[in-house]
Amino acid sequence: MNSHTPIDAVQIAEAELAPAFKVYTARHLQQIEQLQQLPEQLKHEMEVVSSVLPFRVNNYVIEQLINWDDAINDPMFQLTFPQRGMLKPEHFDAVEAALATEDKAEIKRVVNEVRQALNPHPAGQMEHNIPRVNGEPVNGIQHKYNETVLFFPSSGQVCHSYCTFCFRWAQFVGDQSLKIAAKESGQLCDYLREHPEVTDVLITGGDPMVMKTKNLRAYLEPLLEPEFDHIRTIRIGSKALTFWPYRFVTDEDSDDLMDLFRDIIAAGKHLAFMAHYNHWREMGTDIHRQAVARIRETGAHIRSQGPLLNHINTEADDWAKMWQTQVELGIQPYYMFVERDTGAQHYFEVPLAQAWNTYRDAMKQVSGIARTARGPSMSATPGKVEIQGVTEINGEKVFVLRFIQGRNPDWVQRPFFAAYDEKATWLNHLKPAFGEEKFFFED
């Protein structure tokens, strides 16, 4: 602080640097000033959609990320605000009619019915990936691929804002039967003790970065003990760099968080911060740059991942610019995903063939340093399937595919072929090429 600066100016500067977190949900749509300039009909549609799909947005996103002069076409607006098209017309009409009755039981019934029709738990995550300790299913853990266990701490099952396309949307609608969450890490530790093959623990949610540092520390510290030496990497999946970068710079316990990161690294582990990004527009503020720099200073490594989405990021130029910006900030591009088969998929989906073209056109524009993102990749029931390309073999046009991860590790890296289909948007739309009856992994 400069001693000549008037004290009021200093206070104002600090307030600008760190606004108080303010959150708006479906009940607060009328209180968002910037929305009031939009047509009434749009706000009504938002009310209908947000009674089915989760909606939550904060002051940083509203004030610093969204361009309100062209909101409807703004990727940050599409990323956070509900749009009519996110529900299919028949679902929209049913919910709109139910809301008009003002009958709570009726609204609940219709909303639940629509949610159930939106495949709330894609890729068999409720049936296939929930592990057991002493024969009992463990809450808040998923274990699909040998090396990596996903952990969902119960206090991290919310985000600073919600993404409209979120494949974990069912976690946020308050229906306990749709929820995956662990109250404490005791069962995680029991499970990891029995599974020396696990090298990575991925803390996910929601967003674990909404937790107070002391809660996060309580979950993570036990993993730093020698009995968990087989855990080599701790990953934290988070959108907080986009939705609340103050978490890492000016929040009350930001410094404690950086200390926790340092402690994990001092214990000899790799700390992988898996940052969710969809657009270079998420990276433009000073506070974002400061947050990235602070995380990197601890020795943690930031990687980026996110899906390709209609209405948000279909342009190859935007991907190239995003990856290049990330590289310059010290963030390594990791995955480009295909929008999953849940929630508002029909609104955001892009044909696989188009997704591959976007990927390729983006790759062409950047140097090898920024070509580290794998994809486009579908997180499907049998595994993560990458579209490697489109080609012709003996006169038949085909997709070339491979497993990046497989429910069976032996499937990994094996190329396989599907008949080309211009419209297909997900693995289950594809048929084997060359007249074969089944894909090799379907036996």
Q: Does 269 bind ligand PLP (CB under 6 A)?
A: no
Residue 82 or 383 having the CB closest to ligand PLP: 383
- What x-and-dash track marks residues 98-137 binding ligand PLP by CB under 6 A? ----------------------------------------
Q: Does 342 bind ligand PLP (CB under 6 A)?
A: no
Amino acid identity of 244? W
Tokens of 309: 């989405």
Could you give the C-alpha distances from 39 to 45, 70, 83, in angstroms and in order? 10, 13, 13
Q: Name the β-bridge partners of 401.
A: 387, 416
Give the 3-state secondary structure of residue 84: helix
Q: How far is the CB of 303 from ligand PLP (least distance, A)?
A: 9
Q: Does 142 bind ligand PLP (CB under 6 A)?
A: yes
Query: Quick count: other Cβ atoms within 10 Å of Cβ 371?
Result: 15
Q: What is the CA radius of gyration of the chain?
A: 22
Q: Does 304 bind ligand PLP (CB under 6 A)?
A: no
Could you give the C-alpha distances from 296 to 210, 271, 290, 326, in angstroms and in order? 19, 10, 10, 13
Helices 213-220 and 254-266: crossing angle in degrees, nearest 10, is 20
Structure-token match 């010290």, residue found: 330
Q: How far is the CB of 144 from ligand PLP (least distance, A)?
A: 4
Q: How far is the CB of 145 from ligand PLP (least distance, A)?
A: 5
Q: How far is the CB of 350 from ligand PLP (least distance, A)?
A: 20
Q: Are 242 and 276 in contact (CB under 8 A)?
A: yes
Q: Does 144 bind ligand PLP (CB under 6 A)?
A: yes
Query: Quick count: other Cβ atoms within 10 Å of Cβ 417?
Result: 18
In the list 50, 187, 278, 379, the residue contacting ligand PLP (rule: CB under 6 A) is 379
Residue 57 or 271 having the CB closest to ligand PLP: 271
Amino acid identity of 20? A
Q: Name the β-bridge partners of 398.
A: 391, 419
- Stretch of 6-14, 84-92, 99-107, 142-150 contacting ligand PLP, by CB under 6 A: 142-150
Q: Does 273 bind ligand PLP (CB under 6 A)?
A: no
- What x-and-dash track marks residues 389-408 binding ligand PLP by CB under 6 A? ---------------xx---
Q: Which spans of this chain sit near ligand PLP (rule: CB under 6 A)?
A: 142, 144-145, 148, 150, 379, 384, 404-405
